[in-house]
Amino acid sequence: MDRRTFMKSAALTGAAAIAQSPAPALAQAQGSQKTTVGIQLDVGSLVEQGVDRVLDDLQRLAHVNALFLYTINFMQERVHYKGTGTFRGGNYATVHPQYYKDTVLRAEDTRAPEFPGFDVLAEVVPAARKRGIKTFCWIIEDNSLPKVPNMEKLWEVDVYGRPTTRHPGGPCFNNPNYTNFLLGLVEDYCRSYQVDGIMFGSERQGPMGYSLGAYHNGAHADPGTVCCFCSFCEAKARRMGIDFGRVREGYLALEKYVRSGRAKRRPTDGYYVAFWRVLLDYPEILTWERFWTTGQQETYAALHGKVKAVNPDLKAGWHIWQNASWNPIYRAEQDFAGMAPFSDFFKPVVYNNCAGERMISYMESVGQNMHGDVSKAELLEFEYKVLNYNEAPLDKLAAAGFSADYVYRETKRTMDDLEGTSAQVWPGIDIDVPTANGSSKCTPEGVRDAVLAAYKGGAQGVVLSRSYSEMKHENLRGAGVALEQLNLV
């Protein structure tokens, strides 16, 4: 059966068939290396259910052959910690202090207090290897300041010189206390355990995107808290010949523009023209936006270099924030071809169910400034055209979510951008990422179709997301059915 016939017959199979389809015998699912079937896995599920039971279920239901373990995390829901008392989070592996140099963080302080005596890598890696399953350390940045001594010295400073403790602030990529900590962390993981690599995720953008609130949930962002204006950034700017004072003035002018829009005071010449006037008056706004992104990508390159220095066979890749699915400026910044030289793989986030409500949220925010003169329905059409989507109209969008066609188009775009490079593409598939009441929810056939669409787009693997603890088994099974239909396992 060729791929086209196969996709058609796959499309005819209903949800009921998936729910009833028996999972194949475990032996059949073992050891396949044809494609990467990854899953993001939390420590809490492993402790609660036991390592072997979780691995049995992952292989039986979805042919998983790569774990993306949340090895360090400060978010209770991602850790899936249900214990009583205050949650703090941290590193769930043993910390080996000799790898951490030139940082004010004391490595031992980053060990999580939860699950004492449980070293997630020591417990999981040998069990996974026995089954032919790879293990990647999955490191994602936090949205609020972790309660670790000295952590505040790593965090960004806003345009008014105030230290930040939460989004849109975060640890500064130009602060060596942060980058040296990250380098120590990945060296520790890669030297102390037989892992297969790392995935790093930074769900942040530069100060222009933040000032405009150009992301989902950005409508209430404070344009006076944009980052980073710390002494490390100032010194780097000086070395690069950037006028730091003009950058600050520019962001204060942009703050004024955004605040007027939020107060519904339409600029005399309209929202779009006024936005461009601020940019033309202060081209330093764009310089600093680029400066931030460069710092982020220099960190990716350094982490990749560190992993390869430990062992060239290990892999380093990046989780790409879903903001690239609605903010065209952020999409331009996440230049896959430009990042390819320091990337073994990319996980573009293509969570299709939550994409509908997230697109609406993004439009609510930029509809108060640069796109303030067009209706939401017109803006949605514009978004669909410039981003190359064919999705539901505004009144049906939240309930419909995005379709599998979005997963296909985003995967294909990423593949096309990376043509001629060795970087692989493993899209992040939505399995029960929470959505509001009335918004699109995952189904077994929806997950199946998203996985089929990723492979139709040329993907060399998938990362089932966001966290195993959120996933219903019947929906996870949808991924397994797709892989079987594609004869990939």
Q: Using CB under 5 A as the criterion, which residues of the chain lie in contact with Zn ion when the complex forms?
A: 172, 174, 228, 230, 232-233
In the DSSP assignment, the letter for residue 15 is: H
Of the pair 40, 296, the CB lying nearest Zn ion is at 296
- What is the Cα–Cα distance from 29 to 60, expressed in whole angstroms? 7
Q: Which is nearer to Zn ion, 226 or 462 (CB)?
A: 226
**173 burial class (0-12, 13-18, 19+ CB within 10 angstroms)?**
buried
- Residues 47, 274: Cα–Cα separation, whole Å: 55
SS3 letters across 98-123: HHCCCCCCCHHHHECCCCCCCCHHHH
With respect to Zn ion, which residue has the nearer C-beta, 232 or 257? 232
Q: Are 93 and 70 in contact (CB under 8 A)?
A: no
Q: Where are the alpha helices (DSSP H) in 138-221?
A: 176-192, 207-211
CB 372 within 8 A of CB 271: yes
The distance of closest approach from Cβ of residue 239 to Zn ion in the complex, given in angstroms and rounded to an integer, is 14
Shortest Å, Cβ 99 to Zn ion = 24
Please, which residues have CB within 8 angstroms of residue 424's CB and are 6 or more apart in sequence?
36, 317, 344, 345, 346, 460, 461
* Alpha carbon 258 to its chain's center: 27
Toward Zn ion, which CB reaches closer, 103 or 174? Answer: 174
User: Of 231 and 375, which CB lies nearer to Zn ion in the complex structure?
Assistant: 231
User: At closest approach, how far in Å is the CB of 161 from Zn ion?
Assistant: 12
CB of 296 to Zn ion, least distance (A): 11
* Closest distance of CB 89 from Zn ion, Å: 23
Q: Decide whether 145 or 230 has the Cβ nearer to Zn ion.
A: 230
Give least dist CB 207 to Zn ion, A: 11
What is the spatial distance between Cα 292 and Cα 208, in angstroms, rounded to a whole number?
10
Pseudo-torsion of CA 463, 469, 471, 474, nearest 10°?
A: 110
Closest to Zn ion by CB, 232 vs 345, is 232
Shortest distance (Å) from residue 292 CB to Zn ion: 9
The Cα–Cα gap between 476 and 447 comes to 7
Q: Which is nearer to Zn ion, 146 or 197 (CB)?
A: 146
CA–CA distance from 55 to each of 46, 73, 146, 292, 398 (Å)?
Answer: 9, 21, 30, 39, 34
Among 368, 390, 370, which residue's Cα sits nearest to residue 381?
A: 390
Minimum CB–partner distance for residue 243 and Zn ion (Å): 16
Shortest distance, position 155 Cβ to Zn ion, whole Å: 9
Nearer to Zn ion, 235 or 273 (CB): 235
Least separation, in Å, of the C-beta of 110 and Zn ion?
21
The nearer residue to Zn ion, 206 or 461, going by C-beta atoms, is 206
Cβ 206 to Zn ion shortest distance, Å: 12
Give the CA count within 13 Å in the CB-facing half-sphere of 107.
20
**Between 171 and 218, CB nearer to Zn ion:** 171
CA torsion sign for 376, 379, 385, 387 is: negative
Q: Specify whether the CB–CB gap between 119 and 191 falls below 8 A.
A: no
CB-based burial, 316-353: b 16+ in 10 Å, e otherwise:
bbbbbbbbbbbbebbbebbebeebbebbbbbbbbbbbb
Closest by CA position to 11, among listed 404, 396, 426, 488: 404
